[in-house]
Amino acid sequence: MKTKKKLDGGLKRILFFFIFSIFSSNISYSSQILDYETEEFINQIIEDIIKVNRINKKIRFKINNSNEINAFVDINNIIHINSGLIIYCSDYVALLSVLSHEIGHIDLNHVKLRKKTIEKSKKFNTLSLLSVIAGSTLTQNPQFLQGSILTSAALSNQYIIFSKDQEMEADLYALKTLSLLNTNSKSIQELLETIEQKLFDKGFSKDKQRLSTHPYFEDRILLIKNFKNIRDINFNENYNERFNYIKAKFVGYGDNEEVLKELNEPYKTYAESIKEARNGNLIMSLQSLNEIIKKNKNNFLLETKADILLAHGYTNEAVKFYKKNLDEYPLNYYAQIRIFENMEIKNLSKSNIEVIFQRNKNLLYKYFNNKNVLSKYIELAQKLNKEEWFKFFNFILSINNMEKDVFETEIENFKNTKNKDLLRLINIIQNIN
């Protein structure tokens, strides 16, 4: 997991590589977790949901760094998944059911319907001022949203959530999906009960729930219990093992001792090894992690080891393990970024620096707004006397503070370039902005 936040104190910096800030978006969120292992797993689950429901559209998602047990769909039909949700799901089926619920909102056109309702009501001047919280199977009261998701996600105070009927439709959609996948688990009910208890601990009463757009917890649990039982339950052990490693990683990077105590082995040791590294106990951390690596074929354990080594200053050793992970997962761009940004070019020839410049351009096209990638490319451009590239990289860094008319004028000037690779990057940025 990756981060760009600077933390005070030597040991605090070991909360490494967990969060990247988003630089350009219609709705700006304070922090997003970028983790290839987690993204690949969620993508596979979503593909399963898409297939059985015969959905003919791409489902996009983002993982937010938030302890709130929640997931929601925004106005652009992007599913937002909180890290707290992953931590509190006891197996992959619970996560699958929540994702099915959110995909149900998208597939049933609930966002579009709610937008129409707003337009008719004329309660808002413009939709551009509106941020939609497409209520998940989790959130029970806008009051709690305002104090958590809305703050951390930097959303507008003007928002809507789905009606009770739409929430019930999404619940039924999720249960139907589980039936189509021939899977089910008590974990879904357990997750609802956990959320209910946490909200009650915050002072959330039944009267408040009556005013919420979400169905009562007891009604939702009853719906789960009364839904057609599946005789031959297909519980995917491979999925669950992958999920448990991901969950353990999230627990290790977090501060949830309650969940940590409940983890089974080797996941508990894995989470504890990450926590030991965060506390500065590198040797103890690596001893535990190395034992797990010996007994397991999970290549992402090597990436975690690389993260730990890099956070403690062992850059060369870390790069070796990033490369091992990249050998098996060549699309793990986050590992590639770590290798790229830690390349030492001071003593390299211009021809070797040119190779590095050309070889990593895929990162520019995909992560042009990543300051670590840009900083390295500025360094490379200086060494190679690539004045056009150097100017454009600095232009990218200043976009957020630039007026629209200035941006449009400047980018049109850059488009006079004869460099096809630079022109491709210019067009990508212009289309996004």
CATH code assigned at 307: 1.25.40
Q: What is the mean pLDDT of residues 367-388?
A: 94
| In a shared domain, residues 149 and 199 | yes
Domain boundary among 333, 368, 403: 333
The answer to whether the Cα torsion of 134, 135, 139, 145 is positive or negative is: positive
Q: What is the mean pLDDT of residues 409-432?
A: 92
pLDDT in the model for residue 139: 43
The Cα–Cα gap between 257 and 252 comes to 9
Q: What is the mean pLDDT of residues 86-108?
A: 94
Summarised one tens digit per residue, pLDDT across range 21-70 is 222 222 233 488 999 999 999 999 999 999 999 999 999 999 999 988 88
The Cα–Cα gap between 64 and 184 comes to 26
| pLDDT for residue 138 is more than 70 | no
| pLDDT for residue 230 is more than 80 | no
| pLDDT for residue 135 is more than 50 | no
The reply to whether 249 falls in a domain is no
The reply to whether 287 falls in a domain is yes
φ, ψ for residue 40 (rounded to 5)?
-65, -40
Domain boundary among 308, 333, 358: 333
Summarised one tens digit per residue, pLDDT across range 10-22 is 333 333 333 322 2
| pLDDT for residue 76 is more than 90 | no
- Range from 135-139, 168-172, 379-383 that averages highest in pLDDT: 379-383
pLDDT in the model for residue 87: 96
| pLDDT for residue 363 is more than 50 | yes
| pLDDT for residue 416 is more than 60 | yes
The reply to whether 2 falls in a domain is no
Please check whether residue 210 is in contact with residue 150, taking contact to mean a CB–CB distance below 8 angstroms.
no
**Confidence band for 75, pLDDT divided at 50, 70 and 90:** confident
pLDDT in the model for residue 114: 67
Q: What is the mean pLDDT of residues 189-202?
A: 78
| pLDDT for residue 163 is more than 50 | yes
pLDDT in the model for residue 162: 65
Q: What is the mean pLDDT of residues 170-198?
A: 85
| In a shared domain, residues 55 and 185 | yes
| In a shared domain, residues 287 and 396 | no
Domain count, the chain: 3
| In a shared domain, residues 192 and 272 | no
* Least confident range of 123-137, 176-190, 403-417: 123-137
| pLDDT for residue 291 is more than 60 | yes
pLDDT in the model for residue 119: 60
| In a shared domain, residues 166 and 207 | yes
Q: What is the mean pLDDT of residues 379-399?
A: 94
The reply to whether 64 falls in a domain is yes
Please check whether residue 19 is in contact with residue 4, taking contact to mean a CB–CB distance below 8 angstroms.
yes
Of the candidates 405, 410, 403, 350, the residue with the CA atom closest to the CA atom of residue 380: 350
The reply to whether 170 falls in a domain is yes
| In a shared domain, residues 146 and 275 | no
| In a shared domain, residues 108 and 42 | yes
| In a shared domain, residues 326 and 398 | no
| pLDDT for residue 156 is more than 90 | no
The Cα–Cα gap between 229 and 224 comes to 9
Of the candidates 294, 356, 300, 358, the residue with the CA atom closest to the CA atom of residue 329: 300
| In a shared domain, residues 134 and 260 | no
pLDDT in the model for residue 355: 96
The reply to whether 168 falls in a domain is yes
| In a shared domain, residues 210 and 88 | yes
* Least confident range of 131-140, 164-173, 256-265, 325-334: 131-140
Q: What is the mean pLDDT of residues 226-250?
A: 83
| In a shared domain, residues 122 and 20 | yes
| pLDDT for residue 213 is more than 90 | no
Q: Which residue has the higher pLDDT, 61 or 188?
A: 61
Q: State the chain's mean pLDDT as an integer.
A: 80
Q: What is the mean pLDDT of residues 283-291?
A: 96
The reply to whether 115 falls in a domain is yes
Summarised one tens digit per residue, pLDDT across range 239-280 is 999 999 999 999 999 988 999 999 999 999 999 999 999 999
Q: How many helices (H) and strands (E) does the chain have?
A: 23, 4
| In a shared domain, residues 192 and 119 | yes
pLDDT in the model for residue 125: 41
pLDDT in the model for residue 430: 87
The reply to whether 243 falls in a domain is no
- Range from 29-43, 280-294, 393-407 that averages highest in pLDDT: 280-294
Domain boundary among 306, 333, 360: 333
- Tell me the percentage of the chain whose pLDDT exceeds 70: 74
pLDDT in the model for residue 402: 85
Instruction: Determine the structural domain holding residue 67 and report its residue range.
Output: 12-226
Amino acid at 220: R
Q: What is the mean pLDDT of residues 217-240?
A: 68
DSSP string, 216-280: PHHHHHHHHHHSPPPSS----HHHHHHHHHHHHHHHHHTT-HHHHHHPPTTHHHHHHHHHHHHTT
